[in-house]
């Protein structure tokens, strides 16, 4: 009995530690993305639309890259999210940020980058806020509504911005050989980033409608639970 009691206390302690960590992680991400949004708005209002990316660059890179931890959260069982879906979502964002926007200055000054920053910052502020309150045991309905409603506009906006960025990067990738490995080299292998960018564009064709329809179904399922009041 003493051994079982000790084991239960140990598991409870581990659970409390994990929950504390997840609360800290989600609060940090929520505030980080809120900062990105506020900075972006301030620069847009001042008329400096093309300077949005440079204004938020450091904060954006920190908090978007930190999302890689969410894959580890799945691996270690901290959360019940599907590791494949989570890995794909994190990879796509990190790829767009580092391999496309960061690598090509022409993309940084385009409207696509600004669209991505707005779509990501609003979406992630809401999403991490939702997770934070979920860990506390009660999510305000307004936040639930925002999470399952704002995506209707933000998801297409973000995808459009990402595609604009990739499209802008393609000719530069071909001409300047950015992120490309050519033969001969010590590893005796080659990699053409130009073709990966084209593959990325075509990959959006089946993936976007599938995920968008899934989110619409989730919206109907989640928001449909709220009882109607007279």
Residues annotated as part of the active site: 155, 162
- Angle, helices 2-45 vs 52-65, to 10°: value is 170
Tokens, residue 121: 């910052």
CA distance 167 to 119: 18
82 Cβ neighbours under 8 A, 6+ residues apart: 74
DSSP state of 51: G
Residue 190 contacts residue 183 (beta carbons within 8 Å): yes
Cβ–Cβ contacts within 10 Å for residue 141, how many?
10
Cβ–Cβ contacts within 10 Å for residue 140, how many?
11
């Amino acid at each position: 009995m003493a051994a079982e009691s000790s084991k239960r206390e140990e598991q409870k302690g581990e659970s409390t530690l994990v929950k504390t960590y997840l609360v800290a992680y989600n609060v940090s991400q929520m505030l980080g993305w809120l900062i990105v949004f506020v900075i972006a708005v301030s620069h847009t209002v001042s008329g400096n639309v093309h300077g949005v990316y440079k204004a938020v660059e450091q904060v954006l890179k920190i908090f978007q890259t930190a999302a890689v931890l969410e894959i580890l959260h799945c691996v270690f069982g901290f959360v019940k999210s599907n590791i494949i879906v989570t890995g794909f979502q994190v990879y796509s964002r990190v790829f767009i940020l580092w391999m496309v926007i960061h690598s090509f200055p022409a993309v940084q000054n385009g409207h696509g980058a600004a669209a991505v920053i707005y779509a990501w910052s609003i979406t992630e502020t809401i999403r991490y806020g939702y997770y934070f309150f979920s860990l506390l045991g009660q999510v305000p309905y307004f936040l639930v509504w925002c999470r399952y409603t704002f995506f209707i506009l933000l998801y297409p906006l973000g995808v459009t911005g990402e595609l604009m960025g990739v499209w802008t990067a393609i000719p530069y990738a071909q001409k300047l050989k950015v992120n490309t490995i050519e033969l001969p080299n010590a590893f005796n292998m080659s990699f053409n980033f130009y073709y990966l960018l084209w593959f990325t564009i075509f990959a959006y064709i089946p993936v976007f409608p599938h995920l968008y329809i899934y989110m619409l179904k989730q919206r109907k399922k989640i928001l449909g639970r709220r009882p109607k009041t007279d």
